[in-house]
Amino acid sequence: MSYDINKIRQEFPILNRKVYGKPLVYFDNGATTQKPNSVISSINKVYKDINSNIHRGVHFLSAQSTDAYENARRVVKEFINAEHIHEIVFTSGTTASINLVAFSFGEKYISEGDEIIVSSMEHHSNIVPWQMLCERKNAKLKVIPFNEKGDLLIEEFKILLSEKTKLVAINHVSNTLGTINPVKEIINLAHKKNIPVLIDGAQAVQHITVNIQELDADFYAFSGHKIYGPTGIGVLYGKEKYLNTMPPYMGGGDMIKTVSFEKTTYNDLPFKFEAGTANYTGAIGLAEALNFVSSIGISNIRAHEKALLDYGTMKLSEIESLIIYGNSNNKTGAISFLLDNIHHSDVGMILDKMGVAVRTGNHCTQPVMDKFNITGTVRASFAMYNTKQEIDILFESLNKILEMFS
Ligand code: PMP
């Protein structure tokens, strides 16, 4: 199938917007992606046609919204090729998914003196929940370093793995460096010592194929809004054998079987971890987003974005005073850079006036900034709807900024 970029762009109404009278060039996809018509109309349809609280109603609309919600769970299961549907827990996003595991797995499996391994290229949301857990339990956080190119040092990881290690938590793709980490190898190494692995897939599912059974990940977290879906919805995949033995994270409606003041019993998976009214609208919208991605094909999206990455890297490298941070041979379409010695937020603000939306700052990865001894970068991150012409606009705009500052 040929990749019909014009047809794809037509599906995203916001791309027709102008900012400051200029066509919008949206390169802030790592922060959040834009939404296709099918996602927008599915949310509209929930509120227009089937809105009703799920699971608890005996009436027609409640049955319809429950069916749509549970169908969304099936779509997620199939999208990541999980073994069981009850291994899919809806959360509010990656951060919530990781916190759920940090609290619940931590409650059951982490004791004083135990160790948890993360990497030094994690998003803060895959660092801080583990630090909080370590504080609660008097456990230790161990950190895998990465090299100048932005590749994890796997030999160092092997040294860190020990009988004290109780969990490894690692991102699939770095939001700042774009590195696609060798998570399969990391999981294999950890499993040889019977250590479970959580993968933060917030920057992976929208760019590369994720096959949970092939990876054999024990936990996998991602956010709807970064894969063309709504905000406020996310996924935690967890292996049945862990989810079944972990205590609930939050108590409330839907997560119980029976409640009395003497004893409360908890619901089966996945409901045990979905206390309160679920974001069924978000889940239904997310399913629509995953169907949209599948209809284009994740490998086609990957090929398109890889071409953008190669072109963007080539163009930006033509600017002598521009430094790219993150030069792994295995990257998604994210380019972090600094222009000459101009502050990243100045570059971002001027680009904005030129119609180009980028992200600036530390990208919630302060340890990555510390490693390079910088305070932040400018990040251009690509999605299925971006074009080489837009990269040309970025390139020309950066050259204009250089002229302004010279
Ligand atoms: N992990 C990574 C790698 C991310 O890029 C992000 C979002 N920037 C998160 C976790 C957190 O995602 P959310 O804010 O949707 O919970």
Domains of the chain, residue spans: 5-30+298-405, 40-295
pLDDT for 94 equals 98
Residues with CB under 6 A from ligand 1: 93-95, 123, 125-126, 171, 175, 200, 202-203, 223, 364
Catalytic residue among 5, 19, 160, 364: 364
Mean pLDDT of the chain: 97
Measured from the CA of 226, which atom of ligand 1 is nearest?
15
- The enclosing H or E element of 356 equals strand 356-357
pLDDT for 2 equals 79
Q: Residues near 286 by Cβ (< 8 Å), separated by ≥ 6?
A: 72, 75, 76, 224, 227, 229, 230, 233, 235
Ligand 1 midpoint to CA 226 (Å): 8
Tokens for 63?
A: 């049955």
Q: To which CATH superfamily is domain 5-30+298-405 assigned?
A: Aspartate Aminotransferase, domain 1 (3.90.1150.10)
Q: Residues near 249 by Cβ (< 8 Å), separated by ≥ 6?
A: 99, 100, 103, 104, 273, 275
Give the span between the Cα atoms of 97 and 75, in whole angstroms: 18
Closest CA to 174 of 108, 223, 120: 120
pLDDT for 361 equals 98
**Pure H helices in 209-297:** 212-215, 240-243, 280-296
Strand, coil or helix: 284: helix
Ligand 1 midpoint to CA 95 (Å): 6
Rounded-to-10 torsion of CA 121, 123, 126, 127: 70
State which of 94, 130, 227 you would mutate to test the pocket of ligand 1, scoring each by most atoms of that ligand within 8 A of its C-beta: 94
Contact call for residues 344 and 360 (beta carbons, < 8 A): yes
Closest CA to 339 of 357, 355, 318: 318
Ligand 1 midpoint to CA 263 (Å): 37
Percent of the chain with pLDDT over 70: 100
DSSP secondary structure, 59-100, as one string = SHHHHHHHHHHHHHHHHHHHHHT-S-GGGEEEESSHHHHHHH
Half-sphere exposure (CA, 13 Å, Cβ side) for 255?
15
**Pure H helices in 154-201:** 154-160, 183-192
pLDDT 10s digits, 133-177: 999 999 999 999 999 999 999 999 999 999 999 999 999 999 999
pLDDT 10s digits, 317-337: 999 999 999 999 999 999 999
Percent of the chain with pLDDT over 90: 99
State which of 181, 364, 365, 366 you would mutate to test the pocket of ligand 1, scoring each by most atoms of that ligand within 8 A of its C-beta: 364
Ligand 1 midpoint to CA 100 (Å): 15
pLDDT for 228 equals 99
* DSSP β-bridge partners for residue 334: 381
Contact call for residues 281 and 92 (beta carbons, < 8 A): no
pLDDT band for position 38 (cuts 50, 70, 90): very high
Measured from the CA of 95, which atom of ligand 1 is nearest?
16
pLDDT for 56 equals 78
Report the pLDDT averaged over residues 5-14: 98
Say whether 364 is catalytic: yes
Strands 140-144 and 115-119: parallel
pLDDT band for position 1 (cuts 50, 70, 90): low
Ligand 1 midpoint to CA 202 (Å): 5
Report the pLDDT averaged over residues 383-397: 98
Contact call for residues 182 and 154 (beta carbons, < 8 A): yes
Tokens for 31?
A: 């922060």
Give the span between the Cα atoms of 267 and 111, in whole angstroms: 26
Report the pLDDT averaged over residues 114-126: 98
Q: Residues near 83 by Cβ (< 8 Å), separated by ≥ 6?
A: 212, 213, 240
Give the span between the Cα atoms of 199 and 215, in whole angstroms: 10
Architecture of domain 40-295: 3-Layer(aba) Sandwich (3.40)
- The enclosing H or E element of 312 equals helix 298-317
pLDDT for 57 equals 80
pLDDT for 146 equals 98
Measured from the CA of 364, which atom of ligand 1 is nearest?
8
pLDDT 10s digits, 178-227: 999 999 999 999 999 999 999 999 999 999 999 999 999 999 999 999 99
Q: Residues near 101 by Cβ (< 8 Å), separated by ≥ 6?
A: 129, 198, 219, 221, 236, 238, 246
Measured from the CA of 125, which atom of ligand 1 is nearest?
10
Angle CA 29–40–254, to nearest 5? 95
> Which residue minimizes the CA distance to atom 5 of ligand 1?
175
